[in-house]
A and B are shown apart, each in its own frame.
Chain A
């Protein structure tokens, strides 16, 4: 393997009613379900983006993780910056797929809605983040059986090396009903943390075992 000039500059975790950035807990709100929790996160971070309320739950989760990472991870977003998004999860968009399925199961109660159907794709959450931050950059969504730092590392490395992106916002965004887990990290040319599969895995574990 060649020299690895890429680093992780910041990371964020949202899981079980807790938000942390760079290993520091920022917010904890126990005893509430996901919709109430993510709304409290939205408010806590002074977010002003009405489109948020139209999003499905997976998009809300991914959107807030990106939002927090950019705000609290001190990541400056210059105009026209080329930040690729490389996301992954296990359940794809099944949480919303089941809602669409409920609306078509019964021909007597048949009411499919485009506002739900459009979210039956996992990459839509990356589209939402791209719109929010004006990112005209690559989006790739992978489905793995579990968090797979090896593949994410290789792929991100390739994007940066080929000059396809200046930075890569990378990670895992999983949601099914009240079980959710978002772990996003930014890979750049500068940063305090090594970027390789072992380091990514360490951060993934450490950001939860705080």
Chain B
């Protein structure tokens, strides 16, 4: 069976408009989270990481992207444009487009402005992205809560393995909106300080926004310097609760087992885990239980939510891309905000950015609806 690889990638974030800009800040332990007081988003101030609209507009102009696009579409177009250009793949009938988002243009429900009512439909937004670049295949929108970004990677791999595509471009994105902020606030899930994943003092999440893109390919001649091969993946439901994680971590546990089985690896073959780590009390505890059940206690792990916030449908791909750069640089990045372990099982949370030879990593994510996804990658350097 031929391998499937992750290749050229891009991150549009508050740090800038490419992966390197974001990874440099992470490496230097700089957080993008800022204290924002904007009653149009939430009646009380909160920490978030947002994309500067003026800079985004400048970037569109620099890239020569013209047309009437929503805020999220602009982020996605900039991100995907750079990956398509870098990869130099021509968009034939063997090239797929996957768009991963939880809420898409949901801000248009509040103030549609110049855009038609239809634009809030994810399939319509998908068509806008599709038409702009001239893809020859129907766009596939994945909307599966907070696992969407990493599930999209597993889905791309499966379509390639089925022979439907040779290459798949994935673009992910979600916005910080009144819709999202009011909802997470109603759950009392928001933290009043920059989030502290896995920490004893953790007090909830911050929501942030990014767009991230990547080329998934079966062509070993189309690899970037940060490329990894996808060794295995798994996605399992908790079958427990629609808004609370399982107390036994069952779905995450089974997802990782399924990914390990497919990768033909054992837990201790993994060099690094990029966790979900939202910094809510229940999520982080659930992850620790699942990792403990798999005897993954000593594997260095981090959560990147302290740099970007929780970027919802983009987080899984965003954090996978940072993981790819982590492997390429043989560097384990610190978990921003973490001080002292605050989960019931021992896990090896990375406190300081350190260099170490790295070849494999596991990315996990969990979300509302009880969904969990795990994917294992290996460096091709």
Contact = CB atoms under 8 A, between A and B. Distances in A.
B369 interface: yes
Interface stretch (A16-24, A147-155, A179-187): A147-155
Counting chain B CB atoms within 10 Å of each CB, the highest count among A105, A133, A136, A164 belongs to A136
A207 B110 CA distance: 38
A101 to B, nearest CB: 5
A148 B143 CA distance: 16
Interface stretch (B50-58, B239-247, B293-301, B302-310): B239-247
A131 interface: yes
A162 B121 contact: no
Interface residues of A, number: 53
Given A131-B242, A145-B127, A154-B164, A123 B144 contact: yes
A110 B182 CA distance: 9
A130 B179 CA distance: 27
B237 interface: yes
Contacts of B262: 162
B121 A90 contact: yes
Interface in B142-195: 142-145, 151, 155, 158-159, 161-164, 178-179, 182-187
Counting chain A CB atoms within 10 Å of each CB, the highest count among B110, B162, B178 belongs to B162
A91 B251 CA distance: 27
Interface string B89-122: 0000000000000111010011000000000111
Interface in A119-170: 120-124, 126-128, 130-131, 133-145, 148, 151, 154-155, 157-159, 161-162, 164
A139 B242 contact: no
B138 interface: yes
Given A98-B109, A154-B159, A142 B239 contact: no
A161 B124 CA distance: 32
B126 interface: yes
A155 B159 CA distance: 7
Interface residues of B, number: 58
B145 A121 contact: yes
B155 A155 contact: yes
Contact of B258 (A112, A157, A164): A164
A75 interface: no
Given A127-B369, A136-B236, A105 B186 contact: no
A141 B144 contact: yes
Given A104-B179, A114-B183, A135 B110 contact: no
Contacts of B237: 85, 126-127, 130, 135-139
B250 interface: yes
A155 B157 CA distance: 10
Counting chain A CB atoms within 10 Å of each CB, the highest count among B183, B184, B235 belongs to B183
Contacts of A164: 234-235, 258
Counting chain B CB atoms within 10 Å of each CB, the highest count among A100, A105, A128 belongs to A100
Given A114-B183, A136-B250, A162-B158, A121 B126 contact: no
B183 A139 contact: no
Given A100-B179, A139-B237, A123 B145 contact: yes
A128 B142 contact: no
Nearest to B123: A145
Nearest to A93: B143
Contacts of A121: 102, 143-145, 367-369
B106 to A, nearest CB: 7
Contacts of B367: 121, 123
Contacts of B185: 112
Nearest to A124: B369
A91 B121 contact: yes
B206 interface: no
A210 interface: no
B140 interface: yes
Contacts of B183: 100, 112, 114, 117, 120
B307 to A, nearest CB: 24
A25 interface: no
B179 A148 contact: no
B141 interface: yes
A79 B122 CA distance: 36
B285 interface: no
B162 A158 contact: yes
A90 B124 CA distance: 9
Contacts of A85: 237
A199 interface: no
27 contacts: A85-B237, A92-B143, A94-B120, A118-B242, A120-B103, A121-B143, A123-B367, A123-B371, A127-B368, A127-B371, A128-B242, A135-B237, A136-B237, A136-B239, A137-B237, A139-B144, A139-B237, A140-B142, A141-B144, A143-B123, A144-B138, A151-B159, A155-B155, A155-B158, A161-B162, A162-B158, A162-B161
Given A121-B144, A139-B371, 4 more contacts: A90-B121, A117-B187, A144-B123, A151-B159
Interface of B: 39, 43, 102-104, 106, 109-110, 120-124, 126-127, 138, 140-145, 151, 155, 158-159, 161-164, 178-179, 182-187, 234-243, 250-251, 254, 258, 262, 367-371
